[in-house]
Amino acid sequence: MTEKVWRIGVAGLGTVGAGLIKFIQARPDFVPATGVRVEIAGVSARSRSRKRDIDISTYTWFDDPVALAQSPDIDLLVELVGGSDGPAKAAVEAALKAGKPVVTANKALIAEHGLELAKLAEEKGVPLLFEAAVMGGAPAVKFVREAMLGDDLQAISGILNGTCNYILSTMEQTGASFADVLAEAQRLGYAEADPTADVGGFDTAHKITILAALAFGGAPNYAAAEISGIDTVELIDIRMAHDLGYRIKLIASAERGEGGASVRVAPQLVPLTHPLAQAMGSLNALFIEGACVGRLFLQGPGAGEGPTAAAVSADIADVIAGAVRPVFQGPAAGLAPLPAARDAGWHGKAYIRLLVRDRPGVIAAVSEALAKAEVSIDSILQRPVDDTGQVPIVLTTQPASEAAVKDALSHIADLDAAVEPPRMFRIAHV
């Protein structure tokens, strides 16, 4: 009996691409029930001469990933180039148009162009899978798209960026500044040379946009996400939050609302005893809330060679096994981008940090400014006065609307004693 062979083309030979090739070289028969052997038939990357810890000398090299995608010598394209447009998008489109399945780890591509690619894949009758795009080796996509299909999902929230989680954890543990920890993360390879996508919250927003589409039955709508990053978090915020019983985390959330969903990414204070606060270092963690099963918790490594390559391999196995399903929760031809919910913004408690001049009556003036906006104080914490005559004050509020809190911040910023605009983070409702 002739052994069946699936010929894989790999576009992108960075950390994940190298991990995938190592895995397939070691276990070409990793889908045993099908009797299929997997082999790498072609590779493509920006530099052929770059030193790598994998042997690619026996594979056909393609300077252009589009040429790789179109090659008659590959049966499936794995896209690991990254980026929402350019070579990644062109290669995926070329493979789909040629009637070839695509597996990708590219969260930006799926979040920004998922609907048009899904329509193309379904027109051609081929799979487009992206398990590795969210939470690396932890099966968040499969969990939401398949395991929770029998439930009515209401909300998803968690930590979806290992770089940001590493930076915040290290700042707390070492007392180093954001800039110093970011530089160290770049040196260690945890953060890119241009870290904007990570620390600005955009990478996280791509991921929660994908999960929201899967959870609530639409197509990804990245443009509707509200995004704030961790570049506004200072060491004093981490310390004072801890003194108040909280830990600052970059939280992604998607909640079903009137007419659509609210999708947000922002640093938030999480109680120290909460599972999200316990996820340290580069771990990712996710809560999924359904009407039937209640709350489920998923945690695991969000990036890295091994975990992400394992997720890519799982998608390859699904393709080989003949799994057939829509790219999202329903046929792409009938989907529209998931609309933003018609609501008045978030409602909850807030952490507010002020830097004011040490004068009599400052606390009273701050309290009056909050009262004007109808925001009540829950707790207040003041640091000792230093020789500059300036004092940091942190307060937490009772639940209030987003509009009221912003109004209060405006009143506080107008105070004569204010040295700088007040800093505000939400306190997570978990």
Distance CA 86, CA 98 (A): 18
> Of 89, 107, 142, 207, which residue is the catalytic one?
207
- Extract the tokens encoding 27: 């276990």
Residue 297, Cβ neighbours under 10 Å: how many? Answer: 11
- Extract the tokens encoding 211: 């999960």
207 is catalytic: yes
- SS3 for 257? strand
> DSSP letters of 362-377?
HHHHHHHHHHHTT--E
Please choose, from the candidates 141, 145, 116, the residue with its C-alpha nearest in 3D space to the C-alpha of residue 333: 116
Determine the residue type at 248: I
Cβ contacts of 79 within 8 Å, gap of 6 or more: 11, 12, 65, 88, 91, 92, 95, 102, 103, 104, 105, 106, 109
Distance CA 191, CA 208 (A): 20
Catalytic residues: 207
